[in-house]
Amino acid sequence: MTEKTKVVITDEQKSVKVPKGLRLLIRRCCLATLKLAGYEGAAIVNVILTDNSTVSKHLGTTDTVEAISLASNTHEVLGDVFISLEQAQGVAAATGSTLQKEVCLLTVREVLHLMGYEDTAELREYLDMIMYQLGFPLTTAREFIR
């Protein structure tokens, strides 16, 4: 990973107030994921904070989904990560977690997907390692991959 890595965060939703520090956490999650998973070269990662309907629309389904990633066809942009803050907040409330932790998990997982990792043991290992580096317990990542 080089100094030319850029994380662009856009808030396109109105239903959840973005907590102070969440943008910084998202940026840290993206940079840590790229670095610890061995990404080489410049990259732009776009993180779009959105709502349930927008994420579902990009996925082409009516199912409620927390997050998706769409790889880019350009060399400079790694891809887009869409995170439903509405869904992340609901999961956090249901599991006794925090919105910050849920958004961090979603960000790390989706950036790993942009790098080509599928939901396998290898992705789980990277997720555990990255979440640990970011200060979250290891068991969180294991429970997160369904």
pLDDT of residue 146: 43
Burial track 77-114 (b if 16+ CB lie within 10 A, e otherwise): bbbbbbbbbbbbbbbbeeeebebbbbbbbbbbbbbbbb
- pLDDT tens digits for 4-19? 889 999 999 999 999 9
- pLDDT tens digits for 69-119? 999 988 789 999 999 999 999 999 998 889 999 999 999 999 999 999 998
Protein fold of 6-144:
Collagenase (Catalytic Domain) (3.40.390)
Structure token digits, residue 136: 């979250």
Answer with the residue of higher pLDDT: 143 or 68: 68
Answer with the residue of higher pLDDT: 22 or 56: 22
pLDDT of residue 64: 73
Among 77, 91, 86, residue whose Cα is nearest residue 47 = 77
Q: What DSSP character marks residue 48? A: E
- pLDDT tens digits for 24-77? 999 999 999 999 999 988 889 999 999 888 877 767 766 777 888 999 988 789
Q: Domain coordinates of the chain in residue numbers?
A: 6-144
Contact at 8 Å (CB) between 71 and 34? no
